[in-house]
Amino acid sequence: MNKALSGLGLAMRAGKLVTGDEVVLKAIRSAEAKLVIVAGDASANTQKKYRDKCGTYKVPLMVGFDRDMLGSSVGKPERVVLALTDQGFADMVRKAIAKTSEVEYIE
């Protein structure tokens, strides 16, 4: 498993990661989200929704990996969207992501 996915698991255990559509949208609106990650195999509609929402609230967005990889990294079944709520974890994951080719889009 690569360092970015390990960082997501660490953030989950530390309680600095939220997952699920409504919870992530709430974190974006309240400026708690420091980085939003959407699975690369999410529907085009879901990707557009988060791209627009993150653009409006100026939250960094990353599209990559797939739902199985995201889910297994945080110890849950398939996950389509995650949000990191701690700047330190967000920076760590972004730095690790910059070195991988499994990410299609970073904003």
Note the pLDDT of residue 49.
96
Residue 35 near residue 50 (C-beta atoms within 8 A): no
Pair 14, 85: CB distance under 8 Å: no
Tokens 């997501």 correspond to what residue? 8
CA–CA separation, 10 and 14 (whole Å): 6
Task: Please name the helix (run of DSSP H) or strand (run of DSSP E) that holds residue 84, with its range, or none.
Answer: strand 81-84
Q: Which amino acid is present at 47? A: Q
In the chain, what are the domains?
3-106 (3.30.1330.30)
Half-sphere exposure of 28 (CA within 13 A, CB side): 26
Predicted TM-score (pTM) of the model is 0.91
pLDDT tens by residue, 53-78: 999 999 999 998 899 999 999 999 99
